[in-house]
Structure 1
Amino acid sequence: MAPVKTVCVYCGSGFGQDPAFRRAAETLGTALARAGIGLVYGGGDVGLMGTVARAVMQGGGHVTGIIPDFLQAREHMLEDIQETIVVGDMHTRKRLMFERSDAFVALPGGIGTLEELVEQLTWAQLGRHRKPILLVSVADFWKPLLTLFDHMRDHGFIREGLDLSYLVTAEAEAVVPLLRREVGRRGADPAAERFVEERL
């Protein structure tokens, strides 16, 4: 696989109740900029979305925001970024985010974040892409979802040959090295599509 040049970050349009979520968004944005990795995200200036984008910009990195026209006011489109793409609907937004990204990272967020994350997991499960997917489980945020995945496996709905391929870390600082390592591993072993979990 090619090196990671752009990362799509899914995250909340709010901050959540734990200050650790905002710190993780800032840390991730700074790390992406430092590594020369561009950010692709939903285009808003609110919540964790705006936090990660501003951190990338403050670090001198490149940001691409993709936002549907009906959300420009609600999510207060961030206008200072290098590239803004306004689209007509959510489906086009998600398709462009996919096409422009080499990997996907999910910070804490709500139902929209979950929907975007699960879509990428599904597409990977069905063999539509092999891009890394990483959950940043700050303060065990994604633990209930991971427990649900185990529940699905136990009941035979995620079965051998159709398992999910994702990484998990608790630390935003670990995102860039984990993605680079995973891309290197998959490049060395094209058949590899296994679940990887890091507890740092």
Structure 2
Amino acid sequence: MSQRKTVLIILIILLVDQISKIYIKTHFLINEDISVFSWFKIAFVENDGMAWGTKLSDFIPSISDRNAKLILTLFRIFAVTGIAFWLRDVLKKRKSKTLIFAIAIIFAGALGNIIDSVFYGILFSDSAMEVATFLPETGGYENLFHGKVVDMLHFPIWSGILPEKLPFFGGTYFSFFDPVFNIADMAISTGIGILIVFNKRAFKDSNELVVNS
């Protein structure tokens, strides 16, 4: 895959991701949702932590939420920098299209969420009491590096009481799928999935260590 096509893929994912986030942020109140289908909702939530809404401070109580957020954002920047160098290396060495595509969409997704974490706090007002505004005169809802990631895609495909005969979980309420995510998350998950499922094709003729599936 050429460098031009790779950059185009990254730009498309970033644009779709950021346009969707900015629209939701400037048109929805926090926790507001709209049902598109019975199994799909547009639901505006903000993620202040890692995957599934967990925070570093949940594991290390001695770290405050603000410091945990800053550490997480800096780690994300460090990680996406490493992915960028990896992508540059595989492009230079003309590795497989599958590998280049997977790394490119992972990079685009990671960069999309970093933009939220780094800049959204100073670019938008708070969404708690009213719909957020872009570049508010009174300033943003947080400082640089303390922004929250905007999520909006929710797929509550099924919910209900599990059969009593089911071991351990029988008779309990269960909902699939609860997490709310965004385009950037989809890009990251898809890229990782490609590397796992198409492992041999991605690392074909590669000198990198590969764990065969």
TM-score above 0.5, yes or no: no
TM-score (norm 1): 0.26
Larger % of helix: which? 2
TM-score (norm 2): 0.25
